[in-house]
Amino acid sequence: MSNKFFRERIQQAIYDPILQTALDNNSERRLKGRAAAFTSIPDWPERRQRAHRIRAEVIEHLDKYLEQFIAHNEANGVIVHRAKDAAEAVNIVLDIARLNSAKLFAKSKSMVSEEIELNHALEKEGIRPIETDLGEYIVQLRHERPSHIITPAAHLTRQQVAQLFHEKVGIPYTEDIPTLTATARRILREIFLTADIGLSGVNFGVAETGGLCIVTNEGNGRMVTSIPKTHIALMGMERLAPNLDDLALLLSLLPRSATGQKLTVYTQILHKPMPGQTRHLVILDNGRSKLRNSPLKESLYCIRCGACLNACPVFRELGGHAYIGRDQSIAPYPGPIGSVISPGLLGENFVHLAQASSLCGACKDACPVDIDLPKMLTRVRAGAASRDRGSANSDGAGLTRSTKFFLKIYTRLATQPKLFAISQKLASLGTHLLSPRSQWMPLPAFTGWGYSKDLPRFAGKTFRERFVPKPGMDSEDFKPRSEKTTATSGDVAVQAGNNLERFTSELAALSGHVHLTNDPTRAVIEFLNSRGIRKIYLQPAVLNENLLRQTGIEFTHEPDPQITVGVTKAWAGLADTGSVLEADDELLGSLLPEIHITVLKSSTILPSLPDAVQLASGKNAVFITGPSRTADIEMTLTIGVHGPKEIHVFVDDSKSG
Ligand code: SF4
């Protein structure tokens, strides 16, 4: 069922030229970036199927994995809370805030926080929640919800952001994106340093170790999880990976699908609270258990990459703010996946959103975990239609008996190829007659979509009839997931090539710098002299400190806000992404200064993430992939948002290296 407000919002969005310009910028660049990023993993179809199986396994045995995950977190010193619904989660956070007499929260991006409307509840208690992701900060200044799960300000142009900063932050009007970004950096740095509590989401929890994986490009995730004395991590109960190897596989797909990157700039894997810190983990149900036992279960496989939003022709015209409920509130999750989980988690208010799809299948094709979104959307529609006829019951995330009956018939047909082929023919005839283009349906505007959208022509022949296998395809491509060959780990090209060479070229492509040397201390001194830098932060036992003293370079192991260069040690490098793996708690060296120097032994450059991920087990570790970056304003890449503007990797190629 559709609703009046939803239809009105659709009309507004379609006829808003500024919104259309902003949306075109976002989706076109995201789609191109995603396509380019996947070329470096030619085995991506296999990875996708493995990812599907991993997520299916987690959801199937969720209780077991949750139990394991919670036990490890408690052993790691994390205080774990379970919240059955939004109200309970909000109360847990408020209790922690009261306990700490907190007045200021520094928040990094969390869709769960949006889902439970946490900011509103904090403000009612007199607590200031400040969003620190640039896009989230912008929409918070406008008192809006994010319009996209990855790019919160995707609906805005640079002129709108410029005007906003002029009015709300008090800077002279400028459309210069680096200036706008630097302004946010200056304001938010103060927030990180003075916040009572840091609050983050969790991209993945690792059941086997209790690890919390948090990915951010700007570095705000690292700030909020490390600097405040109290950190609260908010996660949906389904966001688990069984172990670190599975995490590595999921991480090879998430950033490529989300932002077109091989790896997000800061990929943290946290196991223990930072020294002197208390960490709380709030695990939210809020309808997930019910969804898990419903025909919409597969929607819980989602890893929140946003690719289905960018691919969806409907979302690309409307943007996220058109996805509104009957009460006119904006859905926390828009787009194809949002049209399934918003009603699935939050109920009837959003059930009509499932109409906002042409069922073209672009969302399924884009999904890195191969969720059958068109199937999910038709199930929501079927449930809504049945309820409209007054046959609702409360079983299975709102699905009705008649829907279940329909699904049973569908399952019988789908498992018998001949019957399925006949049913497709009949369905094709039926839909042709009912198509708005058909002579039998003279009123194409009955849903609201007909005003501006042509429905696709129905194919004369079914897919199976038209399908001609490509050379090289074999019966393996048609086997069910469970029977397919297991994919290999690592990038095939990397395994054959030279790790150091690949590492250097990958980092250079991200504006990072590699300095090959047999004597890292002398090479760093030379670099510092060339820049006229006389004082640095130095992680202990990385460089020859006597030599630094002799050459007049001052160093400290303590915090010093005047310092612009930090020097740290890398545990390992990744050839296929140009990343370095380091201790996450070395913020003074690797995040706060404008220039980050790290020393890496050439022998520790490994081909790919799966080869290095076990090094993070039980530790607080971070994979750093280039300098801090954002593309939150008009998708324009800007370097140095919250973290360093430059990263220099001094690769020690001496015998001992
Ligand atoms: S449904 Fe798939 S494509 Fe959409 S956000 Fe989730 S994982 Fe990404």
Which residues lie with the beta carbon below 6 Å from any ligand 1 atom? 257, 302-308, 337, 366-369, 371, 373
Asked if 299 contacts 337 with a C-beta cutoff of 8 angstroms, the reply is yes
- Atom 6 of ligand 1, residue of closest alpha carbon: 302
Per-residue confidence (pLDDT) for residue 256, from 0 to 100: 97
Would you say residue 481 has pLDDT above 80? no
Range from 134-148, 157-171, 398-412, 623-637 carrying the lowest mean pLDDT: 398-412
What's the CA-to-centroid distance between 628 and ligand 1, angstroms? 25
Q: What angle do CA 326, 258, 143 make, to 5 degrees?
A: 45
What's the CA-to-centroid distance between 407 and ligand 1, angstroms? 23
Structure tokens at 55: 């997520």
Distance, in Å, from the CA atom of 177 to the CA atom of 185, rounded to the nearest integer, reads 12
Per-residue confidence (pLDDT) for residue 505, from 0 to 100: 97
- The SS3 call for residue 228 is coil
Per-residue confidence (pLDDT) for residue 22, from 0 to 100: 87
Q: What angle do CA 320, 323, 327 make, to 5 degrees?
A: 135
Question: Could you tell me the pTM of the whole model?
Answer: 0.84
What's the CA-to-centroid distance between 59 and ligand 1, angstroms? 16
* pLDDT tens string 557-607: 998 888 999 999 999 999 999 999 999 998 999 999 999 999 999 999 999
* pLDDT tens string 196-242: 999 999 999 999 999 999 999 999 999 999 999 999 999 999 999 99
Site to probe by mutation for ligand 1, drawn from 253, 364, 369, 377 as the one with most ligand atoms within 8 Å of Cβ, is 369
Residue with tokens 């290296």: 657
* pLDDT tens string 72-97: 999 999 999 999 999 999 999 999 99
Asked if 336 contacts 304 with a C-beta cutoff of 8 angstroms, the reply is no
Structure tokens at 232: 């609260």
What's the CA-to-centroid distance between 299 and ligand 1, angstroms? 9
Distance, in Å, from the CA atom of 602 to the CA atom of 657, rounded to the nearest integer, reads 6
Q: Specify the DSSP element, H or E, that contains 134.
A: helix 134-141
Asked if 220 contacts 188 with a C-beta cutoff of 8 angstroms, the reply is yes
- Atom 2 of ligand 1, residue of closest alpha carbon: 367
Per-residue confidence (pLDDT) for residue 387, from 0 to 100: 63
Per-residue confidence (pLDDT) for residue 252, from 0 to 100: 97
Distance, in Å, from the CA atom of 350 to the CA atom of 327, rounded to the nearest integer, reads 9
Strand locations in 394-478 (E): none
- Atom 3 of ligand 1, residue of closest alpha carbon: 367
Residue with tokens 């890449």: 637
Closest by alpha carbon to 624, among 503, 496, 492? Answer: 503
The minimum-distance atom of ligand 1 relative to the CA of 257 is: 8
Length of the chain: 657
What is the dihedral sign for C-alpha 476, 477, 482, 487?
A: positive
- Atom 8 of ligand 1, residue of closest alpha carbon: 305
Per-residue confidence (pLDDT) for residue 419, from 0 to 100: 63
What's the CA-to-centroid distance between 604 and ligand 1, angstroms? 34
* pLDDT tens string 437-467: 333 333 333 333 333 333 343 444 444 444 4
Per-residue confidence (pLDDT) for residue 426, from 0 to 100: 63
Distance, in Å, from the CA atom of 18 to the CA atom of 41, rounded to the nearest integer, reads 36
What's the CA-to-centroid distance between 259 and ligand 1, angstroms? 13
The values of phi and psi at residue 49, to 5°, are -70, -35
- The SS3 call for residue 452 is coil
Asked if 238 contacts 269 with a C-beta cutoff of 8 angstroms, the reply is no
Looking at residue 627, the DSSP 8-state letter turns out to be S
Average pLDDT, the chain: 87
Distance, in Å, from the CA atom of 372 to the CA atom of 416, rounded to the nearest integer, reads 19
- Atom 4 of ligand 1, residue of closest alpha carbon: 308
Query: Alpha carbon of 473 to those of 46, 333, 462, 478: distances in Å?
Result: 13, 37, 20, 9
Amino acid letter, 54 = I
Residue with tokens 């260069």: 565
The minimum-distance atom of ligand 1 relative to the CA of 373 is: 1
The minimum-distance atom of ligand 1 relative to the CA of 299 is: 1
Closest by alpha carbon to 339, among 315, 369, 362, 361? Answer: 315
What's the CA-to-centroid distance between 305 and ligand 1, angstroms? 5
Site to probe by mutation for ligand 1, drawn from 44, 367, 375 as the one with most ligand atoms within 8 Å of Cβ, is 367
Per-residue confidence (pLDDT) for residue 431, from 0 to 100: 46
* pLDDT tens string 141-198: 999 999 999 999 999 999 999 999 999 999 999 999 999 999 999 999 999 999 999 9
Asked if 38 contacts 344 with a C-beta cutoff of 8 angstroms, the reply is no
Site to probe by mutation for ligand 1, drawn from 365, 371, 377 as the one with most ligand atoms within 8 Å of Cβ, is 371
The minimum-distance atom of ligand 1 relative to the CA of 305 is: 8
- The SS3 call for residue 605 is strand
Site to probe by mutation for ligand 1, drawn from 303, 315, 342 as the one with most ligand atoms within 8 Å of Cβ, is 303
Query: What angle in degrees, to the nearest 10, is found between the helix axes of 62-75 and 44-60?
Result: 90
What's the CA-to-centroid distance between 370 and ligand 1, angstroms? 8
- Under the banding of pLDDT at 50, 70 and 90, the label for residue 389 is low
Query: What angle in degrees, to the nearest 10, is found between the helix axes of 335-346 and 373-388?
Result: 40
Per-residue confidence (pLDDT) for residue 486, from 0 to 100: 37
Query: What angle in degrees, to the nearest 10, is found between the helix axes of 177-194 and 134-141?
Result: 90
Give the count of beta carbons closer than 10 Å to the beta carbon of residue 281.
23
Strands 579-583, 230-236: parallel, antiparallel or unpaired by DSSP? Answer: unpaired
Site to probe by mutation for ligand 1, drawn from 47, 54, 203, 257 as the one with most ligand atoms within 8 Å of Cβ, is 257
Distance, in Å, from the CA atom of 155 to the CA atom of 16, rounded to the nearest integer, reads 11
Per-residue confidence (pLDDT) for residue 444, from 0 to 100: 33
What percent of the chain stands above pLDDT 70?
82
What's the CA-to-centroid distance between 478 and ligand 1, angstroms? 23
Distance, in Å, from the CA atom of 318 to the CA atom of 148, rounded to the nearest integer, reads 11
Would you say residue 496 has pLDDT above 50? no
